[in-house]
Amino acid sequence: MHCFVVKKTIDMKYYYAILLALMLLLGAGVKAQDTWYTLASGDWDNPDIWTLDPAGAVPVGSGGPVVGDNVIILTGKTVVVPDGNAPYDSPSVRDVTLDLGKVKVIGQLDLRKSSGHAFTELSGNGRLLMAEDNYPLIGDASKFVNAGEEEGICVYYVIHRSVKRLFFLG
């Protein structure tokens, strides 16, 4: 009994042409992640505080971080995320939700009362400020929270609270 194997050969030019066409079609709508740095302190949605310059010294690029981008808040800079509460409620409500790649806080990131944020990673030795329990959903925060790593600080503060009675025990 004899077995025969029939092979069809495909010209490699056609194979590469098809592969190239697929890569162009599938990659046409894909944007590479940018890494944005703080140029100045200010509100998250202000494009003038962001740069693509790693030194944070020269305005490079336009706009600011978008979904999936990486962000580094440099030393001495504070970025405030508008949360829809005063002063971000007039003349129109400004409420920002962050969905980012890696976030490194060396300065300060103030989330105020905003919520629903997601980061793939949080690192740095800066401060993450929150006006209520609105800690973001973070894939890996080990460098921010673990002793011996970069050891960032979470600060919970109160924007406004009326105290009716004050008791001292002891």
**Within-domain flag for 169:** no
**Within-domain flag for 8:** no
**Within-domain flag for 114:** yes
Are the C-beta atoms of 162 and 143 separated by less than 8 Å?
Answer: no
Are the C-beta atoms of 52 and 106 separated by less than 8 Å?
Answer: no
pTM, entire model: 0.76
Spell out a b/e string for 136-150, using b for 16 or more CB atoms within 10 Å of the CB, else e.
bebeebebbbeeeeb
CA separation for the pair 123, 70 (Å, rounded) = 11
Peptide bond into 136 cis (omega under 30): no
Question: How many domains does the chain fold into?
Answer: 1
**Within-domain flag for 40:** yes
Instruction: Kindly give, in sequence order, each residue whose CB lies less than 8 Å from that of residue 50, ignoring residues fewer than 6 positions away.
Output: 36, 37, 38, 39, 61, 63, 64, 65
**Within-domain flag for 36:** yes
Are the C-beta atoms of 75 and 109 separated by less than 8 Å?
Answer: no
**Within-domain flag for 62:** yes
**Within-domain flag for 12:** no
- Count, residues in the chain: 170
pLDDT in tens, the chain (170 residues): 555 554 555 566 665 666 666 565 665 555 678 999 999 999 999 999 999 999 999 999 999 999 999 999 999 999 999 999 888 888 888 999 999 999 999 999 999 999 999 999 999 999 999 998 899 999 999 999 998 899 999 999 886 654 444 444 44
Q: In terms of residue numbers, what domain contains 152? A: 32-156
